[in-house]
Structure 1
Amino acid sequence: MSELVTGEAVALELRPARLPSRALAVLLDLAVAVAVYIAVTIGLVAATASLDQAAQTAISIAVFVLVLVGGPIVVETLSHGRSLGKMAFGLRVVRDDGGPIRFRHALVRGLIGVIEILMTFGVVACVASLVSARGRRLGDVFAGTLVVRERVPAGRADFVPPPPPWLAGRFSGLDLSAVPDALWLAVRQYLTRMRQLDPQVGWSMAERLATDLADRTGAPVPPGVPPAAYLAAVVQERQAREARRTFGDGAVPGAGQVGASGAPGGHVPAVRPSAAVPPVAGPPVPPAHPDAAPRGGASSADRPSTGFVPPA
C-alpha cells in the first residue's frame, strides 16, 4: 500500500483507499439508501393515493432527491466522513490536509456523486479513481478530500508531540486563517517524523517550516523558542480551535492532540491521553537561541535541542 509523501520527503501515515474497498463501501451505502427509498416510497404511495398524478410525481422526485442525494450528504457531515459502508470497510473521508470534512465538502462530493456514480452507474468514478495516483474520484478532487484507510496495524501510527508546558496557550492570539492546508500537512508530518531525521537536517527543516508559518500568521517566532517547539505549539492551538468548533466551547485544548491521521473530529483513532505525555527535557525554561550554537564543523551532538521530548 502506497503512502502519501510531502514536499519535504516526510512520509504520511494516511493510506489512501483503493478502488475495490471504495466500491464495496459505495455498494453497501447504495443498498441501504435504495432500501430506505423503497420503504419510504411504499409508505407515500399509500398516504398519497387520493392525490392527483402531478402531486404524486412531485412527491416521488422530492423523496428521491432527499433520500438518495441528501441522505449521504447529511450522514457524511454528521459522522465526519464515515458512512455505513465506510465504517464497515474501515474507510474515512478526510480533507487533503488530513483534517475532518465539513458540510461543504460533503455537499460537493454528494452533488458530483450523482453524476459520476448514480447517472453513469459508477463508470466515471471508477475511471477517475484508477487514473488518480491517490484513488480519488471527481467529487474528491473538486471537494479537496481524500478517502483513507482508518484501520492500521497497532503500533504503526505516529503521534504529533505536544509542546513544552511553558508554551501552552502562548499562541492563542495568532491569526491562522491564511495558513494553507499544504503547510499544515507538512508541519504535522515533520513533527511525527522528526525523531527519524538527522539532527542537522531536522533543525534546518524545522527552521524553514517555522519561517513559512510565521510569514503566514504575520507574527515572528518568539526569541528563544526552538522552531520544533514553536511548530508543535501552533499545531496544538489549531487543533484546539477545531475541537472547539466541532464540540463547542467546553472542548479541552489538549484534546486536539491527534495522530498522523489528522482527524480531530468524530472518531479519533490516534489520540494520546494527556497522562501519557512524557516530561520535558531539562528545566522548563526556553533553551538558547540557535544562533548561539556553533555553526559549520559542529557535530550533530552540538546542535541545539528542540526543547521537548517527543512521545515514545
Structure 2
Amino acid sequence: MSGVVTGDAVVLGLRPAKLPSRALALAIDLVVVWAAYLFISIALAIATASLDEAAVMAVSIAAFLLVLVGAPIAVETLSHGRSLGKLACGLRVVRDDGGPIRFRHALVRGAMGVVEILMTFGVVACIASLVSARGRRIGDVFAGTLVVRERVPTAHAVAVPLAPPWLTGRFAELDLSGVPDGLWLAVRQYLTRMRQLDAEVSRSLAERLAADLAARTGTPAPAGVPAPEYLAAVLGERQSRDARRVQASVVGASGFAGGPGPALPGVQVRSVGPASFARPAPPASSAPLAPSADSAEASAAPPPATGFAPPA
C-alpha cells in the first residue's frame, strides 16, 4: 500500500529527495562532522601526550565512534530526521508511512552509513540511491525510512483534514497495532489529495482503504459513517496516541513526572487539574441566571470547519 494508484492514474506518494540535493546535504554534514573530529582529535592528542600508545589508540577509536557515528545518530533522533545539511537543503528523514523517525531508525541508518559512506567514500550510497526507485540507500531500506523534500510549493502543502467533531474520541479503544505503516501512508496521502480526485474515484478509493483498515483492526467500520470521515477519525486517533506517547517520553526524560514538560512543536497538550472535574451543584435556592448576549452569540456560532459534513 506504499504506492496507491487511483483511477485517474494519480500516484499518492511522498516527494523523495533527488540525489544531488542529498549529496549536497551529506557534504555539509561531513564537513561539519570532520571539522569537529579534527578539533577533538587535536585536543585529545595534547591531553593524552603522557599516556602510552595503547591508551592513545583506545581514546582515538572512542572519539571516532562518538563523533563520526554517535553524533549524527543523536542529531537525527533529536531533530526528528533533520541534520544540519538536510536543514540547509530542505530535506528530512521520515518513516515509510510519513511519520517522524525514532532512535532505532537513526541507529540503523548511522550503522549502515559507516559502510556506505565513511568506508567507501559514499560510492555504495550513491549506487544504491541511483538503483532505488525512491532514491533510498541501503541504510534507508533496512531502517524503513525515506529522505523527502520538506520544502514544497504552497499549492502542494495540503494538511490532513481534521476528523469531524461527532467522531472525536469514538475510536479511542480501537486496536491499531496490526495496521502496517504502508496503509497509514496511503490513508494520509488520500486524505490530503481527495479533493483533487474525481468524485467517483475518490469514493471507491476511500471505501477500499476503509475496508483494508477495518480488516487490519479487526473491527468493522461503524454503520452510517462515510468512508472518508472514518479514515480521518482513525488517523486522528493514531496521531493523538503518538503525540501522547512522545509527550510522556519527554516528561519522563525531564525528571519531573508531575510537571507538564517542554512544549513540542505541533502538539497541543491540555493539563488536567482539579478545576477540570465536576464542580458541586449550586444551592437549590439560587435562581438560574439568564444567558447574556455574548453567551447567546457564542452558542449560536457554527462549529469549526473540519472538511467534512455532519451526517444527515
Aligned equivalent of 1:294? none
Amino acid aligned to 1:206: A
SS at match of 1:16: coil
TM-score w.r.t. the length of structure 1 is 0.78
* Counterpart Cα distance in 1 of 2:264 and 2:137: 24
Change (3 A) 1:197 1:12: closer
Q: What is residue 58 of structure 1 aligned with on the other side?
A: 58
Alpha-carbon separation, structure 2, partners of 1:5 and 1:176: 21
Give the 3-state SS of the residue equivalent to 2:93 in structure 1: strand
CA 1:56–1:162 in 2, change beyond 3 Å: closer, same or farther? same
**Runs of at least 5 residues in structure 1 that lack an aligned partner in the other structure:** 252-264, 269-275, 288-312
Query: Partner of 2:39: helix, strand, or coil?
Result: helix
- Counterpart in the other structure of 1:171: 171
CA positional deviation for 1:14: 2.9
Per the alignment, residue 305 of structure 2 pairs with 278
Alignment map for 1:1-312 (pairs within 5 Å): 5-8=3-6, 10-12=10-12, 14-248=14-248, 278=305, 284=310, 286-287=311-312
SS at match of 2:82: coil
The number of equivalent residue pairs is: 263
In the TM superposition, what is the alpha-carbon distance from 1:201 to its structure 2 partner?
2.6
CA contact (8 A) 2:12 2:190 kept: no
Offset at residue 233 of structure 1 (A): 0.1
Question: Take 1:7 and 1:180, find their aligned partners in 2: how far apart are those partners?
Answer: 18
Q: TM-score, normalised by structure 2?
A: 0.78
Cα distance in 1, alignment partners of residues 306 and 30 from structure 2: 49
SS of 1:92's equivalent? strand
- Residue 210 of structure 1 and its aligned partner are, at CA, apart by 1.1
- In 2, Cα distance between the equivalents of 1:110 and 1:80? 14
Deviation at 1:199, TM superposition (A): 2.4
Q: CA offsets, 1:113-166, max 9 Å, x none? A: 100100001111111111111111111111111111111112321221111111
Superposed CA deviations along residues 192-241 of structure 1, whole A, max 9, x for unmatched, are 22222232332222222111111111111112211111110000011111
SS of the residue corresponding to residue 104 of structure 2 reads helix
Q: Counterparts of 1:58 and 1:77 in 2: how far apart (Å)?
A: 27
1:278 corresponds to which letter in structure 2?
A
Deviation at 1:277, TM superposition (A): 5.0
Matched residues in 2 for 1:133 and 1:156: separation?
Answer: 22
- Aligned-partner Cα distance in 2 for 1:13–1:266: 27
For residues 207 and 79 of structure 2, what CA distance do their matches in structure 1 show? 37
Q: 2:250 and 2:225 mapped to 1: Cα distance? A: 29
Deviation at 1:17, TM superposition (A): 0.8
**Kept in 2: contact 1:108–1:143 (CA 8 A):** yes
The alpha-carbon deviation at position 279 of structure 1 amounts to 5.8
Q: CA offsets, 1:175-206, max 9 Å, x none?
A: 11100011111111121222222323322222
Report the counterpart of residue 258 of structure 1 in structure 2: none
Contact (CA 8 Å) 2:75, 2:82: kept in 1 or not? yes
1:7/1:186 contact within 8 Å kept: no
**3-state SS of paired residue (1:148):** strand
Q: How much has 1:57 moved relative to structure 2?
A: 0.4
Percent of matched pairs sharing the same residue: 68
Q: CA RMSD in A?
A: 2.5
SS in 2 for 1:147: strand
Retained in 2: the 8 A contact 1:206–1:228? Answer: yes
* Higher Cα Rg, which structure: 2
Shift of the 133–127 alpha-carbon distance from structure 1 to 2, 3 Å rule, reads same
CA offsets, 1:6-26, max 9 Å, x none? Answer: 244554463211111111111
Asked whether the 8 Å contact 2:94–2:148 carries over to 1, the reply is yes
- Aligned mates of 1:95, 1:134 — CA distance in 2: 13
Unaligned runs of 5+ in 2: 252-262, 267-302
